[in-house]
Structures are given as structure tokens and as C-alpha cells.
Amino acid sequence: MQWEVGSALNIASILAAVIVIAAMLIWVERRLLGFWQDRLGPNRVGPFGLLQVVADMIKIFTKEDWIPPFADRFSFVLAPTIIMIVVLLSFSVVPFAPGVGIVDSNIGVLFVLAMASLGAYSVMLGGLSSDNKYALLGSLRAAAQMVSYEVFMGISLLGVVALAGSFNLREIVLAQEGGWFVVPQFIGFIIFLIAGVAESHRLPFDIPEAEQEICAGYHTEYSGMKFGMFFVGEYLGLVLISSLITVLFFGGWQGPLLPPLVWFFIKASCFIAFFILLRAAIPRPRYDQLMSYGWLFLLPLSLINLLITGVVILSANQM
Amino acid sequence: MSDPIARPHSKSFFAKFAELISDTLTSQVVTLWRVFKHLFVATDTVQYPEQQPHMFSRWRGRIILTRDPDGEERCVACNLCAVACPVDCIALQKTEDEEGRWYPEFFRINFSRCIMCGFCEEACPTNAIQLTPDFEMAEYKRQDMVWEKADLLIAGTGKYHETNFYRVAGKAIGGKDKGEARNELPPVDVRSLLP
Amino acid sequence: MAKITVDGVVYEVDPANNLLQECLSQGLDLPYFCWHPSLGSVGACRQCAVIQYRDAEDTQGTLVMSCMTPVTDGGIYSLAAEQASDFRADVIESLMTSHPHDCPVCEEGGECHLQDMTQMSGHNYRRFDKQKVTHRNQNLGPFINHEMNRCITCYRCVRFYDDYAGGTDLSAQASHHHTYFGRFEEGTLESEFSGNLVEVCPTGVFTDKPFSAQYTRKWDLQTAPSICNGCSVGCNITPGERYGTLRRVVNRYHNEINGYFLCDRGRFGAHYVNSESRLRSARDASGMSVSTTAIEERISEFTSEAVIGIGSPRASNEANFALRSFVGAENYFSGHSDAEHEALQVLIECLRDAAFHSPSVRQIEQADAILVLGEDVTNTAPRIALALRQSVRNEAKALAETSRIPNWQDAAVRELAQESLSPLAVFACGSTRLDDIATTKLNADQQTLIEASNALSERLAGRSPAYSQQTLGTTMQSVEATYTALMSAKKPLVICGTGAGAALMRCAANIARALSVSRSEVCDLVLLPKEDNSVGHALLTSKENTLSRALGRLANGEVKRAIVIENDLFERAPTALVKNALAAAELLVIDQIETPTQRYAALSIPSATFNECEVTKVNYEGRAQLSFQVGEGCDAAKPIERWLNVEGSAHSNSMIARCAAEASDFESLIDCLPDPLGRIAGLKVPRQSHRYSGRTAMHADRNVHEGKQPVDDNSVMSFSMEGMLTQKDSSVLASAWAPRWNSNQAISKFQAEINGELKQGHPGVHLIKRSLNGQAYEAENSVNKNLGDFEIRLVSHIFGSDTLSSHSPAIQKRLCDAYLALNKEDALELGLANGDFVSLGGAEDSIILPLIVRTQTPSGVALVYTGSSALGASINPHDLPESASLARVESEPSVHPTGLGLSNLVVNDAYSGAH
């Protein structure tokens, strides 16, 4: 079979790779956090603790898969599947390397944004169906947070789109042959980075599940594999955001000497590691701080960024 | 992250923006850098059990009952450890030998509840109950975590070598009559007319 | 009311009292030792020093002992002033110089007034480095431990034991810092109230010996308010339970009944619940154990045909009522002996009679002229005897009043009064333990007592009585003296009891009625039944349903089945009669302990003891009181009403409600229950203190997984520490504790004022309405006896005459063998000496008893003590003839000697000399 975008081999190996990487991230994160906290992290199961993931999986699969009697069964089961599905679907438009990808869509950026909006349903349904006050609070926070940050996540990308002249992610990568968009779109990059963290509600923006305040937020009542799906969904989100940053701002697979896929992997890994560092170092803001920061600081900033980009592009075109 | 918006609108936008950059964003970046540097710092983890940790003598681990320098049980079953215990994991019953010495008929610690806080040791007026640096007491069955007096009582004096409650207290026991404790006069002869 | 200022705060206080008492009444924390709310002030310990200011300008003030300082209107005092608090700290430091530092091995530790006061005074570190004075202890018998080193010489013990309770064998010896409190020689403390030393002593000198053997700190005891089942007074007690067994009983203050003191039967008798003789599992006639379901089936079979139910005076109202509704009122019979039943009818008639009033124990203490007729109160209702000892001091108090000495000046009042006593006339057969305070003593046989009583009522009615020839002298004098005393008294009181017999009770009623008529006011009359719920049981039983009728119906086969609850019929009716009846019947016995009756039972079923169920009982006044469940106790035992499974029995409250609704006279029983609205936020009252320890370890030897705490559906109390603490404004007082007050002296924090009503008290309700206008009973005719025969009179002893308490191991050490007592002259005439065996009646199968010479026995009377059934060494009192000829025999006595002999016998008139 050939390496061709959309081929069955492509689909299968991307799916497998993404899920395996997401699962491995559990181990990677714990070890990295360990090192940053002057500990070792999980190092007992298998070489370097690599099989910790397997152990965790066995545990999570064999746990009692319990649905609380007071929960709304249908949406309770539906919620964790949504997050998995939408994140995996987002991966379909990501161009990993020339010939490696699932769909070469003209509306790739829009598709990713659309999927991200759907992700909010997962969290909301999960929280609402649990019939638990912590879950409800968590889902309220999640809905507000995801809806807000989506706005400037989208706006922050418009600069890139304008520069590349396309919504097609593969074309955006190709447009960076002369230089990564991170240079002209540095502000856009920062905004996207922050919004990405907020979208995947990773620390420090894990306000919807802040366990010190509201137990475990929207997934308080979840256990077993359903909890596992939320868990893996979060890591998938992490991989997705890192991949998107790579694609949109850091030239995707492009790089000298090494094969394109390796370049992509290296770049994405750096961002994954950066996200883990964020978790290790930065404390969680208050909920109202998060909201006012987004609406009153990031939104104007992204609009200004878009305005300047537009002015520069238009004036460059006229010259 | 601090809240630049909620502050009083006394400063100009640019002043606030500069402050945001300098105070908050910079500090976050510095934090990130400092934490990142720990990747290259040696870890503190002790690789137990291959590597044995150094236990200090005042470590609060497994609880023992000790004996006084005469080799007798120090515990006088006063119940103070039990009442000090925040998880109520000590139960005992007082009994007495023919010569008036108090000791516990049974003394039970439910280690599956014990939090090794050491309050019992602090409460003990006779230094009988002591915590030791041994912490390796895991069991496969929880029931095996219930220790009786026979399991707790050791042959020696533990950490405190001198304490001997009955040599101080005025109660007469076998081998120590009235007036023989520390700082005591011989018993009064009630019939005596002498002052 | 007077106004005083203490540390800048103005209080309204009672000027009749001393400053210490009023400070405590106001809830202030002021240390004290020698003062006791019942014993008054002597100013011995110097611990309660405060500063008294002359007026508002005075800044210096004078140091005074608050217990010796009368409250004056407008007085200004300071407890917190530096001189006062320093002085108190110095005093306690001196008191502690010889303290043995043995709190961990002291039974008082954790509820010690000395510990509390030391903390309160701020003496923390020992500075005295000289040597400590030590003392040797004495063995004071099976009740009390002695540890003299702990003494702080407050003198409370001798003031209680000698001055208050009339004991003679405890004294203060030696002087200065050698002062010793003990007996002249080692031996059992003789007073019936020795157990109170445990609570009176502010330190650990006198401690509870049976409790020490199974010692538990106060905070570890599960406690609930309960009622003593030792006699008919109904003293309030707090039993403590740990690891499923009863550990001890302490006094629970009740301002109208027991106050601060109990008798030793009540304090040490409750241990029967842990004893060997407890019926622990159900068994059938062959002694095989029976399962609960089999019992329930068997009991339900009993509903099919007529069943005779025999109730019990030691079972609760609910148990008796349940049996009555199970068998039907016409088949429900008295568990009293016929004589007792007849006597109780008199008692109940008098309780209904508007001419009389049943005084509470507190009111008995206020009586200033008393006639005790035929009843040996010290041995049948000991707490009342203690009250009588206070009532004779009313003369002293009256004298003090004329000399303007306040009552609380205890030493001064005693000094002033010397030997003056209020009149107490004791008309009895033989010596009683109250003889030492009796101003008039008539010691005579039954006939003379009846004659004297008749004469007295005649005299009181204003007629001149006729005396027979031989009784003229002393009897007339006694009657005249008593007449004068009763007529000139402000609050006269007549006491009799079922122990004296129905005849004398009628006489007592006649005397009281004559008194009431001639003084045209209600007269105090106390009639004492024998057992804790005699009155309740008698109220539920119809007059004609006597025990002998029940036994007759069983013996002639009229009814085939019978249920006996908590009763040993061999103590209630002649042996032959009982055997006949029981042999003919299919018998079901429900009892707490093993009794000879159970030998005839097809099924013996264990019932719950007083501390294992929530029930009500009726005392001698007709006062119903609620007794809470303390702990779970014996697994197999259930309350009788639950065994019988009558309607409403599943729940104590509903059973009490049903009893109140259906039984006549019990209408107000429902008021015994604590007001459900009194519960704060719907919370229960915990039986365990907030310091209760060992919860996760006490049962861990059996199962490391702690079960759920048992739930008490029946009660406002919980079997855990959850709920509204007693020390807050809860409705029930489980155990007295207040911050800084760990000892039982904390009770002052729960009283409305010192010696006043308990804020959390359940005083009980008087069941019986006095609506009857009764008539005087016909004058009793004396019984004729054969010339030369001895009249047989039964005597009671505080230890041994009560069934349940006799099973207590501690009490058993105080029991003695059955005996027959004669006076010296009669014994000489018959050629008998101490220890000889005497046969009653001379026939071959007659009863043989060892003889003891009691010098006060009236001539022609033989006093018989039937021994204790608890040791299996008693004779059935109903087998005794009313009179018999006595003869010395060589053969063995009818009851096997228990080995205890008569050495434990405490009587005033034992004769030890040779002839």
C-alpha cells in the first residue's frame, strides 16, 4: 500500500499512533512532573516504568463500571464518548507529513474549531447528567470557559489563515517554507497557546475539574473506563493542540536532514513537554480571573493582532 | 495570573499593560524557567527497598510496649493513650495483681487504623508505650493488623532507659512498700503520740 | 433576694446561703474541697478564699473563706483578685506536698475533684523537694478501697460517714500532717452508706472496689439515666457500661429523692447483671438450649387457650402490663405473696386517700416528728433511713435559727445542738439500725405493737386508750411521748411498711388519719413496699387475684398453662403449694436470673435487666420514673414485653403509651417520656462521652471491620458519641461533666441552683390521684398464740433480703447465713447459746436454724432471717409457722451453711459474751 493521504493504512496507523501516544503521555507526564519536582516518578513497572501505562489500563478496564442510580443513564454514557470522538475527528485534518494524513480538507482550520466547540457538549452533558452539585458546577465552568476561549482561539488563527491564504492545514504548512508563522504571528501564537490550554482544560486552566474546590468537577461521578475516556480525551486534546501549534506556527513537518515525520514528532513533543511544564509550574487562576483575562485582555489583543496583520498584508499586496 | 482588569482605573492603559507584562507574565515565565531547571537536579527519591532509608530514632513507626528497668511491664493501664488516640485504635482493660500493681489485662492496637501520630506516646505517664523507627508492618489480611499485648510487649526499656513509675508513685506494690518510693518518709504510726 | 457584686458583675442571690454556694449556683468556677452541698461548711480546707471589699471605695479588701461567709446584700467580692487566686494556689500547693503522684493507677483519675481543683487553682509544677508523709492502708471490706496517701484532710469522709450517716467505725486519727482517716482496726465498714465515700471523697482515698476490679475511666463508660432496682425508693442512678458489661453505679442527683447519696445495696447490688447466676440463654426442661424462633413459636402457642400469668414486683410496668394483656386481666395474678398483696392493697388505698400525703425523701428530711411503726427502714428502704437521720437534726436547725446561726454552718450547728434531736419514735420488734437516734423506742412483740398503735390513734383522736395489764408501763410511756411529739410537731410523719404486715399498716394509717383529723390538715404517711415496682405491679393486679388463687387453679387442673415473669415463687408462697401447682402446669418462666422456679419450667427464657431496656417503675410514693437503657448486654435476653410480642411491644415508647392508655391509674405515665420537642435540632443525646476511646479497637480482636454503631430506635439517646452533648442544654443528663469539672461535683453545673432541681431532670410523675375520702380501719385485734410458743418474726437485712442484689459478687461477700435470734434471757431459759442449732416446732421435718443471741429481741419472740436465695441457702419464709416452740437439736440446719457464717452480720445488739 502506498503512503497516500486518506489511505486505509494511514487511517489505521494514525489512529493507533495517536491513541498510543496519548496513553503513553500518562506515563510521560508523571515522569516529567516527577523530575521537575525532584522525584523519579513511576519507574517500577517494566523498564523505566514504561509498563505503568499497561498497568493503569488494566486497572481502569477492570474497575467497576458504575453508573450512579441518580444519573441520567443515556447522557451519562454519551458524554465521555463525545470527547473521544471529536478529538479523534480533529486529528483527521492534521497534516503530519507529506502523504501522512487522513483528509486534505479545504476547511481544515474551521473543522478543527468546529470539533473543539462540540467538545464542550461532552463536558456539559457529563456534568449535568451526573446529578451532583460538584459535577454541575464543573460543567458550568467548563461550558463558560470553552465557549469563551473558542472565540479568540479562532480569531488568533485568522492571522495565520490570512498569511497562508488558505484554510487548508496542509497548505498552511507549505506556506511556511519561507519562514515559520510564529515570527509574524507571535501574538497569535501566544493567544492560541493559552486558548489551547484552556480548551483542553489542562492545568493551570483545569478550573472545571479543580479538585481542591469541586472534587473532580464534571467527572466526579465517573469511574472505570468512562472516566478513562475523559482522561484519555484530555491527553488526546493535548496532542492535538501541540500538533496544531506545530502545523500552524512552526512549519509542520518541515526541517532539514531528518525525515518530515520525525520533525513533526520532535516539534509536537516539545509543545507537549511545555504543556506538562506549565502544569508543574503555574498555579491555577481563579475562575473569574480566567474569564476576565480572556474577555478583557486576550480578545482585544487578538482583534488588534488581526487588524495589524490585515493592514500589513493589504499594504504589502498593494505595494 | 493576577487580575489586571479588576484594579481601580486610576492608571493609564499603557501603565497597566506594562505592569501586566513585568509583574505577571514575566514572573510566570521565570517560574517556568526555574521549574524547568529542576530537570537537571538530582532527585531526592530513596529507592526503597533496594536502598534502605536512614531512620531516625524519633521516627514514629510501629508501637511497642516496654518494660521498666526491673523487667516489669511499664504499662499501668491508665487508659491515657486510648483517650489521646485520635482514631480510637487503642483498647485495653485494667487488671491488678495480688499486690496492687496495675497492668493491662489486654492491650490491643488496631494498626489498620493507627496513623502513627505519637499522641499515645506523649500521653503515656510511664513511658510504656513508644513509637519505633520500624514502619515495615504491611499485611495481606487486615485482621492481621490487630496487635495484642503479646505482640506489642518487648523485653527491654525502649528509648527511655530510666523511667520506673512505681519507684516514684506512692502506691505500694510487690517489692515496694509504702514509704519506699522516691522522696518518701516511712509510713506514719497513727497510734504514736509524738508530734 | 440579695444583690452582690462579684468581679464587677451583679448577681441576685439568696441571702440565706453562704457565698461559695451562691457563687456555684451562679455557675462561677470557685475551687473548694471541704464544703459539700449536703454537708454544709466547716472552713477546713481554705481553698475557697475570695476577697471581700468593705465598700466601693475599698481597693484593698480582706481575704475571706467564701464557704464561711454569709451573703450580704450589696456585698462586693472578687474571685479573680490576685491575692485570692495566689492564696488558693498556695493552699493547694501545700495540700499537694505529700501527694503520692499515682494518678495513672488511681481509680479517681479523670473524675477527681483534686485534679480539677489543682488545675483550676493553677498549681502546675511541684516545688516542694522535701520528703512525703506516707500512710498504711486498711482493708475496708468488699466495697471500698483505701489509699490513704492521697488524702488532703478535708474531713469530708468522717463528716459524711459519722455526722451525716450515723456511722461509728470511721474516724479521724492522729494529728497535724499525720491525720489518718480509717477504722480503729482493719475491717469492713459497717455503715449501709459507706459507698458514698467514693463520691464524697474529693480524692482517691476511698474508691469503689468492685469497680476497680473491672476498672474503666469515667470517659469510657457508656452511661444513661437509670433507676435503682434495690428497693422501693426509686433512687436515680447512673450505671456505666463498657465492653458489654455493667461496670459501676454512681448516684444521679434527684432533688426530691436521693439527692447526692445512695445506699450500698443500690451502689453495689447492680453487679448481679454480670453474675454467674444470670440466665443467659433460653432452655427447656431438660436444660437444652432453645433457639429464639422456637421460643417465639412456643409463646405464640400459649395464646390458644387459657393461661395464667403471674406478674412480678421486680418487673417493669410495661412487662407486667404486657403479661396482663397477653393472658387477659382475669388471668393475671399477683406475684406478691398473699400477705404482701394484702398489705399493698392497704398501701394503695392510702395512696388514693386525700387525708394523706406521701412525702418524697427530701420532704422526709424536713419532718420534725416521726413515728416508724414496725418497719426496719434501714434494711428495707435504706435511703429513707438516711433521710430520717437528717430529719432528727431539725431540732438542731431550729435551735440554730433561734441563735441566728445559719444552717450551713455545719460545725456550729452541731456544736450548739449537742445531743438534741427531733422526736423519732421507733415502734419495732427487736432492734433497728435507727435506735441510736430514736428518742422513743418501743421494742415489743406484734401484739403489743398493735395495742400501742391502737392506743396512739385513740389518744390522737382525743379518747383515752385502754391498755392491757402487762403492757401498761413502757408502752404507755412510749405512746404518750409519741403523742406529744406528733401533736406538737409542724410536720409530723408516720412510716410503716409491708415488712411490718398489713395489720400494722392499717394501724399506721389510722394513726395518720387521727393526726390528720385532729390537726385538720393532710398528714404525711409513708408506707414502704419491699421491691422496686411493687406499687406498679399491685396497681395492675386486681384485688382478688392473689397468688394462692393462681396456684390453686393450677393445682386443681382448672388451667394447664402458666407464665411466670421475673419471679421466684418459692419466695412468695409455701413450698408445698408451689410445688403442687407447678408440677401440674406447663410452665414458662421469663427471668433475668436463675431461680428454683425454673426447675419446673418447660421453658426458661432470659429477660433483659434494668440496664438493658427502657422501662418505667413506680416507687413507694406512686411516682413513676423512666429508666433508660444503658447498653446492649446479654445477647439472648429481651425485655419481657418483646418476648410476649404484644401489640406495641416493638418500641418502648409505644409500649409505655399503650400502658398509659389502657391501664387505669397509669394515665399520666406518658408524661415520664422526655418531651420530643426538647431535643435540640432533633439530635439524640449520646450515651458516650465526647472522649470515649477505643471505638476502632475494642472489637477488633473478633473482626477488624467495625460494624455500624448500634441504633437505639426506642429512645432519645444514642449508643455512640453522636448527638447533642449532655453538657449543653440537652433534655437528658447521661453523666455529669462540665468543662473544668470532671468529677461528680460537676452536678452543680446542671442544677437550677445548688440543691435545687436538675435542669435535665426527669422528676417522674405521680400516677395516683388522691380522690378518696377514706375511713379509719377497724382497730386490729391481736393474734393469739399458744402459751409458751415463740412468735416468729422475720427480719430483713440490707444485704441478702433483696433477691437481685444478692447475686452481686460484692454483696455476696457481705451476706450471712440464715439464723434465729432470741434475747439473752429466753436463750438462757431454753439452755441455748450462740451457734446452737434450734428446731422450730420440734417435729421431724421442722426447720432447723443456728441461734444467735440478739439482746434487744423482745421476750417471747424469735427473729428469723431466712438467708439469701442467691447462695441457694435460704428457707422459704412462707414455710415458717407463725409461732413455734423451740428446742435445741444436734442435727444439721435446714440450710447448708454458706461458709459465710454470721460474721458479716451488722446489728446493734449482737451478744458475743458467754453465759
Residue of B nearest to C107 (CA): B78
**Burial tier of C829 (Cβ tally within 10 Å: 0-12, 13-18, 19+):** exposed
Of B79, B89, B190, the CB nearest to C217: B79
Q: Where are the alpha helices (DSSP H) in C111-208?
A: 113-121, 156-158, 196-200
Answer yes or no: do B82 and C693 touch at CB < 8 A.
yes
Strands (E) located in C243-396: 245-251, 283-284, 307-310, 332-333, 356-357, 369-373
**Are C629 and C613 in contact, with CB atoms under 8 Å apart?**
yes
CB C156 within 8 A of CB C33: yes
Query: Of A2-11, C71-80, C659-668, which gets the smallest average pLDDT?
Result: A2-11
SS3 state at C508:
helix
Q: With bands split at pLDDT 50, 70 and 90, how would you rate the model's confidence at C208?
A: very high
CA angle C172-C175-C180, nearest 5°? 40
pLDDT at A297: 81
pLDDT above 60 (res B6) = no
Cα–Cα distance measured from residue C316 to residue C207, given in angstroms and rounded to the nearest whole number: 32
More confidently predicted of C145 and C909? C145
Indicate yes or no: CB of C220 within 8 angstroms of CB of B79: yes
Return the residue of B nearest to A37 by Cα: B38
Q: Supply the ipTM of this predicted assembly.
A: 0.89
For residue A290, the distance in angstroms to the closest alpha carbon of chain B comes to 8
Residues of chain C neighbouring B89 (CB-CB closer than 8 A): 694, 696-697, 700
Please tell me the distance from the alpha carbon of residue C534 to that of residue C315, in angstroms, as a whole number.
9
Report chain C residues whose CB lies below 8 A from the CB of B184.
131-132, 134
Residue C804 has pLDDT above 60, yes or no: yes
Peptide bond just before C606 cis, omega within 30 deg: no
Interval C116-147: pLDDT, tens: 999 999 888 889 989 999 999 999 999 999 99
Q: Is A39 on the interface with B (CB under 8 A)?
A: yes
Percent of chain A at pLDDT exceeding 90: 2
What secondary structure letter does DSSP report for B24?
I
> Residue B125 is nearest to which of C104, C130, C212, comparing CB atoms?
C104
Contact C413, C397 (CB under 8 A): yes
What are the φ and ψ backbone dihedral angles of C627, each rounded to 5 degrees? -120, 125
* Dihedral (CA of C571, C573, C575, C577) sign: negative
Total structural domains within chain A = 1
Phi first, then psi: give them for residue C464, nearest 5 degrees. -95, 125
* Among candidates B110, B165, B183 on the partner chain, residue whose Cβ is nearest the Cβ of C696: B110
Residues of A in contact with B30 (CB under 8 A): none
State yes or no: pLDDT of C726 exceeds 80: no
User: Residues of C numbered 112-171 whose beta carbons fall under 8 angstroms of chain B's beta carbons: which are they?
Assistant: 129-137, 147, 149-150
- Helices A260-281 & A8-36 angle (0-180, nearest 10): 40
In contact, C722 and C708? CB cutoff 8 Å: no
Are chains B and C touching, using the cut-off of 8 Å on CB pairs and a minimum of 3 such pairs? yes
pLDDT score recorded for residue C38: 93
**Residues spanned by the domain of A118:** 66-318
Domain with CATH 3.40.50.740 in chain C: 283-340+536-765
Question: Stretch B165-194: mean pLDDT, rounded?
Answer: 90
Choose, out of C126, C241, C693, C703, the residue to mutate when testing the contact with B (most B CBs < 10 Å): C693
Is beta strand C790-794 parallel, antiparallel or unpaired with respect to C861-865?
A: parallel
Q: What is the per-residue pLDDT across A35-90, written as a single tens digit (0 to 9) for each?
A: 898 888 888 888 888 888 888 888 888 888 888 888 888 888 898 898 888 988 88
CB C446 within 8 A of CB C782: yes
B43 vs A289: CB contact, 8 Å cut-off? no
pLDDT at C393: 93
Among residues C846, C787, C335, the alpha carbon closest in space to that of C550 is found at C335
Nearest to A149 by CA among A100, A185, A111, A202: A202
CA angle, residues C18, C20, C22, in degrees to nearest 5: 70
Give whole-number Cα distances, C539 to C252, C344, C345, C534, C770, in Å.
27, 9, 9, 9, 14
> Looking at C7-81, which runs of residues are DSSP E strands?
9-13, 49-53, 62-65, 76-78
Contacts of B76 in chain C (CB under 8 A): 104-105
Measured between CA atoms, the residue of chain A closest to residue B27 is A282
Give chain B's length.
195
Cβ of C690 under 8 Å from any chain B Cβ? no
- Report pLDDT for B9: 54
DSSP notation for A84-140 = HHHHHHHHTT---BTTB-S---TTHHHHHHHHHHHHHHHHHHHHHHHT-HHHHHHHH
- Which CATH entry fits the domain spanning C2-95: 3.30.470.20, 3.40.50.10680, 3.40.50.10260, 3.10.20.740? 3.10.20.740
Q: Above 60 in pLDDT, residue A1?
A: no
User: What span, in angstroms and rounded, lies between the C-alpha atoms of C393 and C365?
Assistant: 9
Q: Is C472's Cβ below 8 Å from some Cβ in B?
A: no
Quick check: C672 and C656 in contact, CB under 8 A? yes
Dihedrals φ, ψ of C40, to 5°? 80, -165
Is the pLDDT confidence value at C915 over 50? no
Minimal C-alpha gap between B99 and chain A (Å): 58
- Is A38 close to B44, i.e. CB distance below 8 A? yes
Q: Quickly state the pLDDT bin for B1 (edges 50, 70, 90).
A: very low
CATH 2.40.40.20 maps onto chain C at 790-889
Neighbours of C (≥3 Cβ pairs closer than 8 A)? B
**Residue C55: alpha-carbon gap to chain centroid:** 49
Residue extent(s) of CATH 3.10.20.740 domains in chain C: 2-95
C210: contact with B, CB 8 A cutoff: no
Query: Minimal Cα–Cα distance from B28 to chain C, Å?
Result: 48
Extract long-range pairs of A262-269: CB within 8 Å, 24+ residues apart: A264/A96, A264/A97, A268/A239, A268/A242, A268/A243, A269/A242
Residue with cell 467514693: C198
Give the closest-approach CA distance of A275 to chain B in angstroms.
11
Nearest Cα neighbor of C235 from C376, C340, C382, C388 is: C382
Tell me whether residues B171 and C180 touch, CB distance under 8 A.
no
Amino acid in the structure at residue C237: I
**Cα distance between residue A39 and residue C115, in whole Å:** 51
Domain C283-340+536-765 falls under CATH 1.10.1040.10: no
Phi, psi for residue C179 in degrees, rounded to 5? -55, 135
* Closest CB from B5, B20, B39 relative to A35: B39
> What is the DSSP code (8-state) at residue B65?
E
**CA–CA separation, C17 vs C3, rounded Å?**
13
Which chain A residues are closer than 8 Å to B47 by Cβ?
Answer: 40
- Do the domain assignments include residue A105? yes
Q: Return the pLDDT at C273.
A: 92
Number of other CB atoms surrounding residue C138 within 10 Å: 19
Lowest mean pLDDT among A186-195, C225-234, C347-356: A186-195
Q: Does A296 touch chain B (CB under 8 A)?
A: yes
In the prediction, which pLDDT does C603 show?
A: 92
- Contact call for residues C29 and C120 (beta carbons, < 8 A): yes
Q: Say whether domain C355-521 belongs to CATH 3.40.228.
A: yes
Q: Which of B72, B76, B78 would you mutate first to test chain C, the one with the most C CBs within 10 A?
A: B78
The CA distances from residue B18 to A193, B12, B26, in Å, are: 21, 10, 11
What CATH architecture does domain C790-889 belong to? Answer: Beta Barrel (2.40)
* Residue of chain A nearest B4, judged by CA positions: A293
Contact check, Cβ <8 Å, C212/B96: yes
Q: Tell me the average pLDDT across C232-255.
A: 93
The predicted pLDDT at position B177 comes to 92
Nearest chain C residue to B111, by CA: C697
Could you tell me where in chain C the CATH 3.40.228 domains are found? Answer: 355-521
Average pLDDT over residues C286-313: 88
Burial A273-308 (b: 16+ CB within 10 A, else e): bbbbbbbbbbebbebebbbbbbeebbbebbeebbee
Please check the confidence at residue B51 and state whether its pLDDT lies above 50.
yes
Residues of B in contact with C213 (CB under 8 A): 95-96
Least confident of A146-150, C469-473, C549-553: C469-473
Write down the pLDDT at residue A14: 84
State the best of C112, C131, C133, C134 to mutate against chain B, taking most chain B CBs within 10 Å: C134
Those residues with Cβ within 8 angstroms of residue A203's Cβ, 6 or more apart along the chain or in another chain: A278, A279, A282, A284
Q: What residues in chain B have their Cβ under 8 A from chain A's Cβ atoms? A: 1-6, 20, 28, 31-32, 34-36, 38-39, 41-45, 47
3-state SS, one letter per residue, for A57-74: HHHHHHCCCCCCCCCCHH
Q: Across residues C388-402, what is the average pLDDT?
A: 93
SS3 call for B51: coil
The partner residue sitting opposite B79, judged by closest CB among C100, C137, C693, is C693
Is there a contact between C134 and B184 if contact means CB atoms under 8 Å apart? yes
- What mean pLDDT, rounded, does chain C reach? 89
**Which pairing describes strands C424-428 and C369-373: parallel, antiparallel, or unpaired?**
parallel
Question: Which chain B residues are within 8 Å of C104, Cβ to Cβ?
Answer: 76, 78, 80, 102, 125-126, 165, 169
Which partners does chain A have (≥3 C-beta pairs < 8 Å)?
Answer: B
Using a CB-CB distance cutoff of 8 angstroms, which residues of chain B are in contact with residue C149? 170-171, 178
Inter-chain touch B31–A285, beta carbons under 8 Å? no
Pairing of strands C236-242, C245-251: antiparallel
What distance in Å separates residue C144's CA from the closest CA in chain B?
14
Is the CB of A35 less than 8 angstroms away from the CB of B2?
Answer: no
Beta strands in C560-607 (DSSP E): 561-565, 586-591, 603-606
**Chain B positions in Cβ-Cβ contact with residue A190 (cut-off 8 Å):** none
Q: CA C86, C88, C90, C92: dihedral to nearest 10 degrees?
A: -150
Apex A142 CA angle, A34 and A76, nearest 5: 95
Q: b vs e for A122-150, b when ≥16 Cβ sit within 10 Å of the residue's Cβ?
A: bbbbbbbbbebebbbbbbbbbbbbbebbb
Q: Find out whether the peptide bond into B86 is cis, omega within 30 degrees of 0.
A: no
pLDDT in tens, A205-246: 887 777 778 877 788 888 888 888 888 888 888 888 999 899
Between B193 and C330, where is the model more confident? C330
More confident residue, A136 or A4: A136
Type of residue found at C467: Y
When pLDDT is averaged across residues A279-292 and rounded to a whole number, the result is 84
Question: Residue C604 in contact with residue C294, Cβ under 8 Å?
Answer: no
Contacts of C176 in chain B (CB under 8 A): 195
- Please identify, in words, the CATH class of the domain defined by B63-168: alpha beta
The whole-angstrom separation of Cα C1 and Cα C556 is 71
Helix (H/G/I), strand (E/B), else coil: C248: strand
Residue C521: how many CB atoms within 10 A of its CB? 13
- Residue C357 predicted with pLDDT over 50: yes
Q: Tell me which of A98-112, B177-191, C577-591 is least confident.
A: A98-112
